[in-house]
Chains A and B, each alone.
Chain A
């Protein structure tokens, strides 16, 4: 297996964007290729993560992107894995370079949904559940995570105010990220006083619906060295699955796929959770970040809440969780999110993260899942 590096990264701003889905995917990809300092003709293939292209009148995004990049003769693969599409596309890109099939590939994630409005976005997102058992019965995505939150409240010594602290922390980080969707400082009271979406989760416990695109260039180590620019090394990659419906899980306060994927990634890298300096985790809802930091091994099950209370997950504390602002503040264009996390890691490990820099960071982790964690990918990166 070859060593794989990330040689360039780029993102559009996340938020409500007016350009088309194909345009924003192209803009992010152009930034990544320019940052990598490569000739687009050196790109062997691309992997495009997207879920609801149909809502912006464009599916089969791969060839459209390649045509826009002037490399229409190169192959592309479109990947849909709900909110985990980005990291799963990254994994496929990584595997093809690691396996020696390609020397240099582009992985791009994109989503454009804000124009559809809350009701229809809520409805479309519910199609990512195991519809027969969940979406059909009226479960929204906030509702499914709210069910996990209710279980967490019932099982551990946690309060809704504790959940709110996760949102406050991620907004603090997002304030330092010029590309974040919600650049707004909030308080625990703001969260507690926001409208209930699905009890016990309130509006400010939820990430926003966002438009946005992110892109990275992956390549072999020889290719990266030959180009001489900044790059980071992928040191671990893992994938896992969970029962698609919550009812299939014995415990509602853990996501099995996160544990499986992270175990594989840690083993491949030969490191343990305590070696990780910062992590971009899948905080689609505040409860998700708590479950994630426990499942990823940063804290014992049930101990995440105390860590959040003590500020141990803030920027430049014990472990910086979501320095970008996370899905909660940076935004969640679902196809782009998993790639956007890699963009953040690239920026952090190459000294381009500005005011939100994690000091002396050497190792970063990305964790991104689809639906309620039915699919998941975890990656580990090291500075060079």
Chain B
């Protein structure tokens, strides 16, 4: 299974697959092959919870092809609770900024042809 396939399988379970550098312990995306901090190749899988807070987002009203039927929708950047890592993705059902203040609690909720799916979450 490729790094991206493994990442997607975890996202389908609501999880975030990170890589922990075996040399310096830095946590990074599992789709990055060398440690961003020290350049080491070795890493071990680390499955993190997919919950966090909305760091920023936009509501798209002029979509690229294939997204007309979802419009308006949000593209969001989620800051994870368990690490200093962020993941972006698709969030449906958002029409106005009042629907999604920065800091809203959200979670990874799947992975499909729209990439990472993120939903609002209650604590």
Q: Does A148 lie within 8 Å of B64, measured CB to CB? A: no
A248 to B63, CA, bound (A): 23
Q: Does B116 lie within 8 Å of A135, measured CB to CB? A: no
Interface size on A, residues (CB 8 A): 39
| B94–chain A nearest beta-carbon distance, Å | 9
> In the complex, what residues of A have CB within 8 A of residue B115's CB?
132-133, 136-137
Q: A132-B4, A138-B70, A138-B75 are in contact. Are A147 and B59 (CB under 8 A)?
A: no
| B39–chain A nearest beta-carbon distance, Å | 15
**Size range of the interface on B?**
20 to 34
Q: Mark B22-49, 1 if CB is under 8 A from A, else 0.
A: 0000000101000000000000000000
CB < 8 Å A-B pair total: 110
Find residues 188-232 in chain A having any chain B CB closer than 8 Å to their own CB: 195-201
Asked whether A39 is an interface residue with its Cβ less than 8 Å from the other chain, the reply is: no
| B1–chain A nearest beta-carbon distance, Å | 15
Q: Does A137 lie within 8 Å of B116, measured CB to CB? A: yes
A149 to B59, CA, bound (A): 12
Q: Mark B50-93, 1 if CB is under 8 A from A, else 0.
A: 00000111111111111100100101010000001011111000
Asked whether B114 is an interface residue with its Cβ less than 8 Å from the other chain, the reply is: yes
A126 to B90, CA, bound (A): 14
Q: Does B64 lie within 8 Å of A245, measured CB to CB? A: no
> In the complex, what residues of B have CB within 8 A of residue A200's CB?
58, 97
> In the complex, what residues of B have CB within 8 A of residue A126's CB?
64
| Chain B residues near A (Cβ < 8 Å) | 4, 29, 31, 55-67, 70, 73, 75, 77, 84, 86-90, 96-97, 102, 113-116
| Chain A residues near B (Cβ < 8 Å) | 118-120, 122-123, 126, 132-140, 142-144, 146-151, 154, 195-201, 245-250, 252
Q: Which 5 A-B pairs have the closest CB atoms?
A: A146-B58, A137-B115, A136-B115, A151-B56, A199-B59
